[in-house]
Amino acid sequence: MDFDVQKIRQDFPVLNQTINGHPLAYLDNAATTQKPIQVIEAVADFYKYKNANIHRGAHYLSNLATDLYEQSRQTVQKYINAAHDYEIIFTKGTTEGLNLIANTLGEMLIHKDDEIIISIMEHHANLVPWQQLAMRKQAKLKVIPFADDYQLDFEAYKKLFTDKTKLVAITHVSNSLGTINPIKDYIQVAHQHNVPIIIDAAQSIQHEKIDVQALDCDFLVFSGHKIYAETGIGVVYGKEKWLEQIPPYQFGGDMIKDVTIEKTIFADLPLKFEAGTTNYVGAYSLKVALDYVQNIGLENIKAYEKKLLNYAIEQISQIDGVEYYATKADNKISVLSFNIKGAHPYDVGLILDQMGVAVRTGKHCTHPLMYALNLNNGTARASFAMYNTFDEVDQFINAVKKAKQMLS
Q: Which residues are catalytic?
A: 365
- The phi and psi torsions of 242 (rounded to 5 degrees) equal -80, -45
Q: How far is the CB of 40 from ligand PLP (least distance, A)?
A: 19
**Residue 248: partners with Cβ closer than 8 Å, 6 or more residues away:** 104, 255, 266, 272, 273, 275
Q: How far is the CB of 125 from ligand PLP (least distance, A)?
A: 4
* Nearest to ligand PLP of 232, 356 (CB atom): 232
Q: How far is the CB of 93 from ligand PLP (least distance, A)?
A: 3
* Nearest to ligand PLP of 202, 217 (CB atom): 202
* Nearest to ligand PLP of 72, 171 (CB atom): 171
DSSP assignments along 236-270, one per residue: EEE-HHHHHHSPPSS-STTSEEEE-SS-EEEPPTT
Four-point Cα dihedral 380, 386, 390, 395, nearest 10:
-40
Q: What is the spatial distance between Cα 177 and Cα 15, in angstroms, rounded to a whole number?
A: 25
Residue 303's Cβ-count burial label (10 Å; 0-12, 13-18, 19+) is exposed
Four-point Cα dihedral 75, 77, 81, 84, nearest 10:
-140
Q: How far is the CB of 174 from ligand PLP (least distance, A)?
A: 7
Is residue 30 within 8 A of residue 335, CB to CB? The reply is: yes
Q: How far is the CB of 173 from ligand PLP (least distance, A)?
A: 7
* Nearest to ligand PLP of 177, 340 (CB atom): 177
Q: What is the DSSP letter of 48?
A: I
Residue 173's Cβ-count burial label (10 Å; 0-12, 13-18, 19+) is buried
Chain contacts with ligand PLP (rule: CB under 6 A):
93-95, 123, 125-126, 171, 175, 200, 202-203, 223
Question: By three-state DSSP, how is residue 90 classified?
Answer: strand
**Residue 74: partners with Cβ closer than 8 Å, 6 or more residues away:** 85
* Nearest to ligand PLP of 27, 397 (CB atom): 27
* Nearest to ligand PLP of 114, 218 (CB atom): 218
Q: How far is the CB of 206 from ligand PLP (least distance, A)?
A: 11
Is residue 5 within 8 A of residue 304, CB to CB? The reply is: yes
